[in-house]
């Protein structure tokens, strides 16, 4: 593909520009990009955060006036660091780890776009707090088992499972 | 200061060894982004909150030894002079970002400078391990070990679904950026690089210039790294990157052979002209210097030039950066002065090489 500006050099930079929901594909070579002063990798005008911000704001563009009014009445704001969703969308970065919970409902589509369709972690789990994670999973399973046992009126075994849960919860208690 | 002594201080000890495939792969790096639980991220933290994070890490890790690596020294970035900060950036030990906004930020560094841990960059903790040549798995093992060592004393912000929680959503999950720096002059000369870069991008990997995000490829040196951090394990990410790098090494070697077969005299001409420029210039701009250095390095790899060590490219690419030039000169220099000093330094360096023979 040739550069759409000079029609001479091969296009090495490919962009999709979205303005007010209208999509525009741009294919240019590095030299023309530089001359245009637009999209220069390394210049302050363009960074991964700008790109990300475009991605996040795009989510909000299709809103009509009435829905955006409704939205403004229930602004999503992190209770811990005070960051709002629109601030997050503007700078492309979270203010604290709690933001992940605050913006959870809007996060998956964003993460999918960034991480090739993935939304869930499948890498390393920290050893110390990770043990707790596994333990908590086990407690949940035991709780379900307990309900089942009560339902089946097997109270003796249920009592044992209850005690097991209690002792596990006690062990976890310190690090919660 | 003599150039020899200055060099020995300027070049990180880890760089002095040659790693596997170091004719093409200059270095391998693993970076892990981590944050402390219950602390807002550096971006929104106020003075006191930043200081708390800094202090919590300093008290546990300042002058502590990690395995065979030895002691980590703690450097307060805001107490460094502007030029000193620049020098750390040029050595890839801290990010440009940390140098520009050193608000309660610090770096923990191993003696050989293969490990640097930035505190209060975009994330609270950024563990970075650098190895010469192609040694990604080795770098991952070391970085992961340091990560475990940190986790013994501090609680990380982590959740089951999203993994390690980072300031930027592009890092969440593993928090890991694995990257290799490659010298690919033949792929550039044969223009094959234009076909290869988009293909690499489609595999979820990124190709950039040597100073990371947004920088230009200087002297045919490219940085290739993973884009995705979520949904794949650290080992899988490194393996995928490894596969692509191995292929690039093959491609570059075959392009070098093709050039030798089809246009040896033109190639020799280019290599020797560049050597001539470096050996004789009185004024040289950074861009021209890196281009010539790349040619000379290729000439060394192809055994056209003898008596100059391969490390000269890595060395001079660092030494001729503005920060180092000014540190060597011992004064602030205007861009024009820098071009003169750069030419002098390169000439001296080449002379030193000749005398060592």
Residues of A in contact with B227 (CB under 8 A): 116
Whole-number Å distance between alpha carbons of B294 and B219: 5
pLDDT at A25 over 90: no
* B202 lies within 8 A of chain A by CB: no
pLDDT of residue A57: 61
pLDDT of residue B288: 92
3-state secondary structure string, chain B? CCHHHHHHHHCCHHHHCCCCCCCCEEEEEEEEEECECCCCCCCCCCHHHHHHHHHHHHHHHCCCEEHHHEEEEEEEHHHCCHHHHHHHHHCCCCCHHHHHCCCCCEEEEECCCCEEEEECCCCCEEEEEEEECCCHHHHHHHHHHHHHHHHCCCCECEECCCEECCCCCCCCECCEEEEEEEECHHHHHCCCHHHHHHHHHHCCEEEECCCCCCCCCCCCEEEEEECCCCCCCHHHHHHHHHHHHHHHHHHHHHHHHHHHHHHHHHHHHHHHHHHHHHHHCCCCCHHHHHHHHHHHHHHHHCCCCCCCCCHHHHHHHHHCCHHHHHHHHCCCCCHHHHHHHHHHHHHHHHHHHHHHC
- Cβ distance A100 to B41 less than 8 Å, yes or no, reads no
pTM to 2 decimals? 0.78
pLDDT of residue B114: 92
Residues of B in contact with A120 (CB under 8 A): 161-162, 230-231
pLDDT of residue A73: 43
Q: Does A7 or B280 have the greater pLDDT score? A: B280
Give residues with Cβ within 8 angstroms of B227, minimum separation 6: A116, B170, B204, B205, B206
pLDDT at A45 over 50: no
- Nearest residue on chain B to A136, alpha-carbon basis: B160
Interface of B with A in 98-157 (CB under 8 A): 122, 144, 147-148, 151-152, 155-157
* B66 lies within 8 A of chain A by CB: no
Interface of B with A in 21-40 (CB under 8 A): 35, 37, 39-40
The number of C-beta contacts closer than 8 angstroms across A and B is 140
Question: What are the per-10-residue average pLDDT scores of chain B (357 residues)?
Answer: 76 83 93 96 92 93 86 90 87 87 88 93 96 95 95 92 95 96 93 87 81 60 93 94 96 96 96 96 93 93 90 82 86 92 93 75
- Nearest residue on chain A to B235, alpha-carbon basis: A123
Q: Does A58 or B180 have the greater pLDDT score? A: B180
Residues of B in contact with A42 (CB under 8 A): 209, 214-216
Instruction: Name which of B33, B34, B37, B44 to mutate to probe chain A: the one with the most chain A Cβ atoms within 10 A of its Cβ.
Output: B44
pLDDT of residue A19: 60
Binding-site residues from annotation of B: 27-31, 92, 126, 177-181, 208-213
Binding-site residues from annotation of B for ATP: 27-31, 92, 126, 177-181, 208-213
* B321 lies within 8 A of chain A by CB: no
Question: What is the band of A75 on the pLDDT scale with cuts at 50, 70, 90?
Answer: confident
Residues of A in contact with B35 (CB under 8 A): 97
Each domain of chain A, given as residue ranges in start order, spans: 1-45, 47-59+72-121, 131-172
pLDDT of residue B286: 87
Distance (Å) from the alpha carbon of A164 to chain B's nearest alpha carbon: 23
Question: What is the band of A135 on the pLDDT scale with cuts at 50, 70, 90?
Answer: confident
pLDDT of residue A23: 64
- Cβ distance B160 to A133 less than 8 Å, yes or no, reads yes
pLDDT of residue A133: 76
**Which residue in A93, A100, A124 is closest to B162 by CB distance?**
A100
Average pLDDT, chain A: 76
Q: Does A53 or A9 have the greater pLDDT score? A: A9
**Which residue in B44, B151, B157 is closest to A127 by CB distance?**
B151
Q: Does B314 or A100 have the greater pLDDT score? A: A100
Residues of B in contact with A96 (CB under 8 A): 39-41, 44
Distance (Å) from the alpha carbon of B1 to chain A's nearest alpha carbon: 34
Residues of A in contact with B228 (CB under 8 A): 114-116, 118
| Averaged pLDDT for residues A60-84 | 65
- Cβ distance B169 to A122 less than 8 Å, yes or no, reads no
Distance (Å) from the alpha carbon of A47 to chain B's nearest alpha carbon: 7
In CATH, the architecture of A1-45 is 2-Layer Sandwich (3.30)
- Nearest residue on chain B to A175, alpha-carbon basis: B155
What does DSSP say about strands B65-66 and B70-76: parallel, antiparallel, or unpaired?
Answer: antiparallel
**Digit-coded pLDDT (tens) for B70-97:** 889 999 998 998 888 888 888 888 988 8
Q: Quote the ipTM score.
A: 0.84
């Amino acid at each position: 593909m040739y550069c759409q500006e000079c029609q001479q050099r091969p296009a090495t930079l490919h962009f999709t520009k979205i303005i007010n929901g209208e999509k525009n594909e741009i294919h240019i070579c590095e030299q023309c990009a530089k001359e245009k002063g637009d999209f220069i990798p390394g210049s302050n005008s363009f960074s991964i955060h700008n790109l990300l911000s475009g991605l996040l704001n795009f989510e909000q563009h299709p809103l009509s006036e009435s829905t955006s009014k409704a939205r403004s009445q229930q602004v999503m704001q992190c209770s811990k660091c005070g960051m709002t969703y629109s601030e997050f969308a503007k700078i492309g970065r979270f203010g604290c780890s709690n933001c992940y919970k605050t913006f959870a409902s809007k996060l998956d589509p964003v993460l999918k776009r960034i991480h090739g369709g993935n939304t869930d972690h499948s890498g390393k789990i920290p050893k110390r707090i990770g043990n707790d994670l596994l333990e908590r999973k086990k407690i949940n399973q035991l709780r379900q088992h307990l309900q089942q046992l009560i339902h089946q009126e097997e109270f003796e075994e249920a009592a044992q499972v209850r005690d097991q849960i209690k002792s596990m919860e006690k062990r976890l208690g310190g690090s919660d | 200061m003599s150039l020899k002594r200055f060099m020995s201080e300027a070049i990180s000890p880890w760089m002095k060894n040659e790693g596997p495939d170091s004719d093409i792969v200059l270095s391998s790096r693993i970076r892990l982004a981590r944050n402390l639980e219950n602390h807002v991220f550096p971006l929104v933290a106020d003075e006191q909150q930043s200081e708390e994070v800094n202090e919590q890490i300093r008290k546990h890790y300042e002058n502590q030894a990690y395995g065979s690596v030895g002691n980590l020294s703690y450097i307060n970035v805001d107490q460094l002079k502007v030029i000193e900060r620049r020098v750390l950036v040029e050595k890839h030990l801290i990010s440009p970002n940390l140098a520009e906004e050193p608000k309660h930020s610090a770096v923990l560094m191993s003696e050989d400078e293969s490990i640097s841990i930035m505190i209060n960059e975009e994330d609270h903790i950024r563990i970075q391990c650098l190895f010469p040549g192609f040694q990604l798995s080795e770098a991952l093992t070391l970085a992961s070990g340091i990560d475990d060592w940190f986790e013994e004393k501090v609680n990380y912000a982590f959740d089951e679904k999203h993994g390690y929680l980072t300031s930027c959503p592009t890092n969440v999950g593993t928090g890991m950026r694995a990257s290799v720096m490659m010298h690919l002059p033949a792929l550039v000369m044969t223009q094959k690089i234009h076909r290869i870069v988009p293909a690499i991008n489609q595999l979820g990997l990124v190709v950039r210039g040597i100073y990371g995000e947004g920088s230009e490829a200087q002297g045919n040196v490219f940085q290739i790294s993973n884009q995705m951090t979520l949904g794949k394990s650290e080992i899988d990410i490194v393996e995928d990157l490894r596969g692509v790098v191995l292929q690039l090494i093959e491609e570059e070697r075959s392009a070098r052979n093709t050039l030798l077969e089809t246009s040896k005299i033109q190639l020799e001409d280019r290599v020797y002209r560049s050597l001539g420029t470096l050996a004789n210039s009185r004024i040289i701009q950074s861009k021209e210097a890196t281009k010539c250095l790349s040619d000379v390095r290729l000439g060394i790899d192809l055994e056209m030039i003898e008596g100059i060590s391969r490390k000269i490219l890595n060395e001079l690419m660092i030494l001729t950066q503005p920060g180092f030039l000014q540190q060597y000169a011992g004064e602030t220099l205007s861009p024009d002065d820098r071009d003169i000093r750069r030419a002098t330094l390169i000439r001296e360096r080449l002379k030193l090489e000749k005398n060592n023979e």
